[in-house]
Chains A and B, each alone.
Chain A
Amino acid sequence: MVGETLEDGARALARSTTIHLAPPERPHVTMHNLTPLSNTEAARVQSAFERVLRRNGRNEDVVEVTLTISDNIKGYLLVAEIFHGNERAVEMRSVLSEPSIAPAPVGITVTKKLLWEQSAPILDLALVADFMFVLDTSGVSRYERRKDKWDRVGVLPAASFVRDPRGRLNLEGDSFTIQLPGTTCHGTWNPSVSLACDNGGMLTAARNTLESEEPLPTHFSIARTKDSLLLAEMDGRTHVYDAVGKPVAAFEGWGSDFAALAGGCAANRILASSTSYGESGDSLVLYDVANNAPVRLTDPAEFAGPVTALWPSRDGALAVVRNISTGRYEAYSIAVDCGR
């Protein structure tokens, strides 16, 4: 995978290697390095591999596993050979160099505009005229634009105590809907403020996954194009289903946040975050889905931290990012510039 470190690749390879080991078997790993990687770096790769393979207990059934760090013109290749007597199974994992970028259509770019930032985690944000509504982990705050500044003019408590909180805010004229894990709240903000909540909604109670009316696998994100349904599922991959719900493909490389866009050159296309394996900045890219596989259409729009929320909006999307340097949460309006 592109953007993955060697240690990430070793961990992924170890996971696919474990399927060749029966529960009582204990792997004994021997490593070969065929690349210019230093001994220290190669040892780190081996260590990452072994940590995932490690089994508890005093298993006497030792299985020899050879881990080879190799390379080719595209990058590194990690190879695990699992030996059971005279039988050998082979698993491989490519850790690619950054690919030469395939040409994107001329003029299409993903643009971002910072709307708001604060220290509490932002779950969603909506703008209407001179008012801004920010849904965060303590509730909904209403701001009014006065002399080019946002002044907070109201707060509606609606706390969310879920690990990795998510929430959705929809405005319709003077009324609004808030979705929190296991809860849906309806309210008005004009002329008076009111809020009433019930159980149920689009977010799973006490979890960070989405609910749906139709029976679907557990998922973090959902997007529909003209011909396909895409789900970010629990295995970390994006699964593609056809128009009648039959699974047709699965691929890696997208994060758990993506959104289908509407309108202009972005219609039927997906905005997706890159996978982030720790403290590094995410990016958003616009993709097409052709023949059940993603096709990159734009250069990445980079951010200073991981994307924590991505929702489609009227004009594109709303992205929330946690800035690694400041620790604050930033809400961006994301649009697609069709150029020409």
Chain B
Amino acid sequence: MRASLKTLDPFADSDPQALGARAWLLPAVFETLVRFDEHGDPQPCLATSWIHDAARKRWVFTARENVLLHNGTPWSPKGGVIEVPDDRPLPDILRELARPSHAIVVHAEDGSLIGTGPFRIERWDGEKSARLAAHGGYWAGRPFVDAIEIKMGRALRDQELDLESGKTDVAEILVRDARRLRQKGAGISATPSMETLALVFENSRSPDVLREALALSIDRATINNVLLQKQGEPSAALLPRWLSGYSFVFAAARNVARAKQLAATSPPLVFAYDRQDPILRPVGERIAVNASEAGIILRASTGPADVRLISLPITSRDAWIALEDLAAMLKLSLPPATSGLFEAESALLNGYRVIPLVHLPQAWATTGAVRDWPRLADVWLDSLDAKAKP
């Protein structure tokens, strides 16, 4: 994978660029009392049920029986229950308990991390590679595959070469390459939009009107239709429509005339993006052209910048958690949950400190033998196709 993770410890800080990869891998190793299903609804995981104890003002979660940690010892909370104070509405409590920060993790004496998930960490070479081995005593049944080897920090082109040469069973790809690779015999798996390309202002030096001008200057439709070959969803929203339902409410139309008015006599902006990234580079170049058409000068930089083009991951199928994580990555304050999701997202977008551009799906190419990717707990290899190559 492209991302590099120093550690899979749920309690460790993570580079925002690796948050998406971390959100995907964590549940395979560390589990929580509650998890979200495909509809974003909380479901039992290590807790099988929960009941309110009105007298003592608490929620009592019943621990699942017969759960073994990766080292073979039983996970058995005292009394078979976990108690949580009822100081918030239940949906907020369940949402919190589903977060990685509430995963069941044991730190062994040798520094290794022990969880209850379908895979255990057999080896972790920080930011380079890792091996996850099947947990034979997993409560929901041993995974089908014996292990998953992960190489980190691999560029997309290198991953594709690894796939073609048989060095890997799975490679991350750009969605626009899916058709080409499918014609070569690869299996293709894709998710709904799980990342948002956005411009983020990294300091408060730029006046509001200049930020708004930049937002109005961008031609999202051309970026999506030409550069991304219609694989994304142009949007001025942080959350994709499959998650919020209302992304279209945020205006994404280009207005060069208005942008010119707002940007008149404005100073240049220092603009940065990863020039090695096959998506960010052409999009960044197009943004610079769009901006210049509105009289906004973007000066390239590889270091500190006024505005940066980045990819923001969608970390959860729960819209609130996804929005909270985005706010944390952007170092912006989120209004309280009582204000409503749309109002909270509107508040983040107010002032144009962040300008969302396009939502993109994640995609992988696999050898013909791989089945049920990217659901790690369920993935298996079809032995009849085990030797098939793309």
Contacts and interface: CB of A to CB of B under 8 A. Distances in A.
Nearest to B57: A290
Given A92-B342, A100-B43, A72 B86 contact: no
B49 A73 contact: no
A73 B191 CA distance: 13
Contacts of A104: 49
A291 B57 CA distance: 9
Contacts of B15: none
B281 to A, nearest CB: 32
B314 to A, nearest CB: 12
B38 interface: yes
Interface string B36-50: 011111111000111
State the majority secondary structure of interface residues on A.
Answer: loop
A103 B44 contact: yes
A115 to B, nearest CB: 30
A105 B245 contact: no
A102 B245 contact: no
Contacts, number: 81
A193 interface: no
Contact of A70 (B37, B44, B88, B241): B241
| Majority DSSP secondary structure for residues of B touching A | mixed
Nearest to B90: A295
Interface size range of chain A in the complex = 20 to 34
Contacts of B246: 70, 77, 79, 92
Given A92-B342, A226-B54, A73 B39 contact: yes
Contacts of A94: 245
A90 interface: yes
A144 interface: no
B242 to A, nearest CB: 6
Contacts of B317: 73
Interface in B225-243: 241-243
Contacts of B388: none
Given A79-B249, A92-B342, A293-B90, A74 B40 contact: yes
A19 interface: no
A70 B43 CA distance: 25
Nearest to B41: A100
B90 A290 contact: yes
A100 B39 contact: yes
A295 B59 CA distance: 11
Interface in B298-350: 317, 319, 342
Interface range on chain B (Cβ under 8 Å from partner): 20 to 34
A288 interface: yes
Nearest to A104: B49
Nearest to B239: A72
A302 interface: no
Contact of A68 (B38, B43, B244, B248): B248
B12 interface: no
A34 B249 CA distance: 12
A136 B342 CA distance: 49
Nearest to A292: B89
Interface string A313-333: 000000000000000000000
Interface in B22-66: 37-44, 48-52, 54, 59, 62
A212 interface: no
A237 B90 CA distance: 19
Interface string A186-216: 0000000000000000000000000000000
A119 interface: no
B241 A72 contact: yes
A24 B342 CA distance: 29
A72 B242 contact: yes
A244 interface: no
B241 A73 contact: no
Nearest to B43: A100
Contacts of B42: 102
Q: Which of A71, A73, A102 has the most CB of B within 10 A?
A: A73
Interface of A: 34, 68, 70-74, 76-77, 79, 81, 90, 92, 94, 97, 99-100, 102-106, 225-227, 268, 288, 290-293, 295, 297
16 contacts: A71-B245, A72-B241, A72-B245, A72-B319, A73-B38, A73-B39, A76-B245, A77-B245, A79-B245, A92-B246, A99-B39, A100-B41, A103-B44, A104-B49, A226-B54, A290-B59
Given A92-B246, A290-B59, 17 more contacts: A34-B241, A68-B248, A72-B244, A73-B38, A74-B245, A90-B249, A90-B342, A92-B245, A105-B51, A106-B49, A225-B54, A226-B54, A227-B54, A290-B86, A291-B90, A292-B89, A293-B90
Interface of B: 37-44, 48-52, 54, 59, 62, 86-90, 241-246, 248-249, 317, 319, 342
Q: Which 7 residue pairs of A and B lie closest in terms of their CB atoms, listed nearest first?
A: A77-B245, A72-B245, A103-B49, A100-B41, A105-B51, A290-B52, A288-B52
